[in-house]
Amino acid sequence: MEKEKAVSVNVRAEMEKLSPEQLKAVKEQTDLEVNLLQDSLNNIRTATARLEIATSALHDLSLRPQGKKMLVPLTASLYVPGTLHDAHQVLVDVGTGYFIEKTMPQAKDYCERKISLLKSNFDQLVEVASKKKSIADEAGAVLQAKVKQLAATTSQGFWTKIAATSSRQLFLLGLTTVNQSQKSIHTIVANMAQLFSYTACRQLSQMFLAVIFFHGSEYILAVGIHGKSNVTLKSLLISKNYLLAMVFSLVEYCVEIILFPGLKEHRWVSNLGLAMVIIGEIIRKMAIITAGKSFTHLIRTHASEHHRLITNGVYRVVRHPGYCGFFIWSVGTQIMLCNPVSTIAFALVVWRFFAQRIPYEEYFLRQFFGPQYEEYGRRIPSGVPFVK
């Protein structure tokens, strides 16, 4: 303890010799190193947790008999059926894409050794990060003291200069300040005028009405088809990620209409987006009404007496008209706002979501309806581009 205090005193003494600019550089560099160390600690925590999960999975796997039926994960949300062949031999991921075959005891020993090594490294990094943090705090304290001292000296010189300044100079200084304030107010007013222009009011009102109608009608149809007791607020289809995406699109719109107002004046592009919103809305609502009780917002994993294969109406054209309609609707909202970044982002994110969801859903549909769905799936496209 006494040694640490002596080191701290020596560090502070050395820092007292540095200029404010040098102290600022030292603090920024040390803060950066602390952040990097913190990231490393988080990575070690994650790796340790994964190895502990792997150890638990190995123990659970060793208790299962040969020939046991199980679901094998291909992705975080996609599982396929499989059969346990030999629980005494496993493949161990040793990193960089390499796998080594090991016996069950060897695999458990490998995981335990890795966990011990990571915990040892974690303790060492915690000690280093603590020392770096102390140095950063010390540099910040010394820098703050020097800045206060410099401010006091500057203040004295400022008031001395003011006392020597003529009234004419003060008058000119006041006129300059007023002129700068007028320019700032003019800029703010101009930006507000862009935000409340006819184009902005039209496009934003169309966007808000489209969103309100979409989610409100989803909930009303769900209540009408399944009954209020079987419907929750999840039927509004509003999630945290969805809200973040919408907020991002509105931020993009506000920034672009201030910096590039001409970008929002392409009336034909906005009208094209409005048409896509209407078409997507019609397709999705036709899908819900046609399917009736067979349509749910959550994927069915068990057969139900109300669940039947729908192949009439809009389902004669596409297998998943609900997904098709939502894809067109979501991209259309951003084209309607003339948001180039959000248009691309919405298209990619929504397409990726359905590209993962459709195979998972159709796995259960094949379980429920067998050859009937196989034949239907071969004839009719999915309705989402590039998803078979």
226-240 tens-digit pLDDT: 888 877 766 666 788
For tokens 């101009």, name the residue. Answer: 190
Whether residue 319 has pLDDT greater than 60 = yes
Most confident of 5-14, 121-130, 134-143, 200-209: 200-209
Q: How confident is the model at residue 189 (pLDDT cuts 50, 70, 90)?
A: very low
Using the predicted structure, report yes or no on whether residue 127 has a pLDDT greater than 90.
no
pLDDT at 354: 92
**pLDDT in the model for residue 268:** 94
Cβ-contact 54, 115 below 8 angstroms? no
Confidence of residue 342 (pLDDT cuts 50, 70, 90): very high
As given in the structure block, the two tokens for residue 329 are 């609707």
pLDDT tens per residue across span 233-260: 666 667 888 899 999 999 999 999 889 8
pLDDT on residue 305: 77
Across 356-367, average pLDDT: 91
Backbone angles phi, psi at 81, to 5 degrees: -70, 145
Which pLDDT band, with edges at 50, 70 and 90, does 183 fall under?
Answer: low
Better-scored residue on pLDDT, 179 or 43: 43
Asked if residue 5 has pLDDT above 70, the reply is no
The reported pLDDT for the residue numbered 3 is: 47
Mean pLDDT over 88-102 rounds to 77
Return the minimum-mean-pLDDT range out of 41-55, 58-72, 320-334.
Answer: 58-72
Share of the chain above pLDDT 70, in %: 83
Question: Which of 40 and 235 is assigned the larger pLDDT?
Answer: 40
pTM of the predicted structure, to 2 decimals: 0.52
Which pLDDT band, with edges at 50, 70 and 90, does 336 fall under? Answer: very high
Helices (H), the chain: 2-16, 20-62, 104-164, 167-195, 198-226, 240-259, 267-291, 321-336, 340-369, 371-379
What 9-17 contacts at long range (C-beta under 8 Å, 24+ apart), as own/partner pairs, is: 11/135, 11/138, 12/138, 12/142, 15/138, 15/139, 15/142, 16/142
Question: Has residue 90 got a pLDDT over 90?
Answer: no
Band of residue 8 on the pLDDT scale cut at 50, 70, 90: low
d(CA 336, CA 346): 13
If residue 71 lies in a helix (H) or strand (E), which one and from where to where?
strand 69-73
Q: How far apart are CA 55 and CA 111, in angstroms?
A: 6
Average pLDDT of the chain to the nearest whole number: 81
Q: Specify which residues 100 forms β-bridges with.
A: 92
